[in-house]
A and B are shown apart, each in its own frame.
Chain A
Amino acid sequence: MNYGIDFSVLNHRLNGTFEYYEQNTKDLLFRVSLPSTSGVGSYMANIGESQNKGFELTLNGTIIDNRNGFSWDAGFNLYANRNELTQLASGQDRDESNWWFVGHPIDVIFDYEKVGLWQEGDPHLDVLEGGGGNVGMIKVKYTGEYDSAGVPVRAIGPDDRQILSLEPKFQGGFNTRLAYNNWDLTMVGVFKKDGILISTLHSSSGYLNMLSGRRNNVKVDYWTPENTGASYPKPGGSTSADNPKYGTTLGYFDATYLKVRTISLGYNFNNNAFLNNVGVERMRVYATVQNPFVMFSPFNDETGLDPESNSYGDENAAVTTQYRERLLTVGTNSPATRNFIFGLNLTF
Chain B
Amino acid sequence: MKRKHFKSYIGIALIAFSFMACSDVLEEQPRSIYEPGFFQTEKGVNGGLTSLYAHMRYIYGQGYYFNTGLTGTDEYTYAQSADGNFRDMDLSGVGSITPSSSRSDVLWGAAFPNINTASGIIENAEAVGTISDALIAEARFFRAFDYFLLVQTFGGVPLDLGAGVLKFNTNPVRVSVRNTVPEVYTQAIFPDLLKAIEDLPENPRVTGGVTKNVARLFLAKAYLTYAWWLENPNSIPTYPEAARQDPEGTVQIGISRRLMI
Contacts from A to B (Cβ < 8 Å): 1-12, 17, 32, 34-41, 43, 45, 89-90, 92, 158, 239-242
Contacts and interface: CB of A to CB of B under 8 A. Distances in A.
Contacts of B69: none
Given A6-B13, A239-B83, A36 B174 contact: no
Interface string B1-38: 10101000111111111100000000000000000000
- B-side interface size class: 35 or more
Interface in B157-212: 157-158, 161-162, 169, 172-176
Contact of A5 (B12, B119, B169, B174): B12
B213 to A, nearest CB: 28
B119 to A, nearest CB: 8
Given A37-B158, A38-B162, A7 B13 contact: yes
B109 interface: yes
Contacts of B18: 2
Contact of A41 (B9, B84, B113): B113
B58 interface: no
Pairs of residues from A and B, 5 with the lowest C-beta to C-beta distance, nearest first = A39-B116, A5-B13, A37-B176, A39-B112, A7-B11
A138 B117 CA distance: 44
Contacts of A36: 108-109, 112-113
Given A37-B161, A39-B169, A4 B10 contact: no
A35 B161 CA distance: 10
B161 A2 contact: no
Given A35-B174, A41-B113, A9 B161 contact: no
Nearest to B116: A39
Given A4-B15, A32-B174, A40-B113, 20 more contacts: A2-B15, A3-B16, A5-B13, A5-B14, A6-B11, A9-B9, A9-B11, A10-B9, A34-B172, A37-B158, A37-B161, A38-B172, A38-B176, A39-B115, A39-B116, A39-B117, A39-B169, A40-B161, A158-B100, A242-B81
Nearest to A92: B174
B113 A3 contact: no
Given A4-B1, A241-B83, A38 B173 contact: yes
Among A7, A43, A239, which residue has the most Cβ atoms of chain B within 10 A? A7
Contacts of A5: 12-14
A93 to B, nearest CB: 13
Among B13, B18, B108, B157, which residue has the most Cβ atoms of chain A within 10 A? B13
12 contacts: A6-B11, A34-B172, A34-B173, A35-B176, A36-B113, A39-B112, A39-B161, A39-B169, A41-B113, A92-B174, A240-B83, A242-B83
Contact of A4 (B13, B173, B176): B13
B206 to A, nearest CB: 25
Given A6-B11, A7-B11, A35-B174, A40 B116 contact: yes
B15 A3 contact: yes
Contacts of A35: 174-176
A242 B81 CA distance: 8
B174 A34 contact: yes
A32 B172 contact: yes
Contacts of A34: 172-174
A43 B13 contact: no
Contacts of B157: 37
B202 to A, nearest CB: 31
Nearest to B111: A36
A40 B9 contact: no
A36 to B, nearest CB: 5
A37 B162 CA distance: 9
B5 A37 contact: no
Nearest to A39: B116
B83 A6 contact: no
Contacts of A240: 83
Contact of B174 (A2, A41, A90, A158): A90
Contacts of A41: 113
A40 B162 CA distance: 10
Contact of A8 (B11, B81, B114): B11
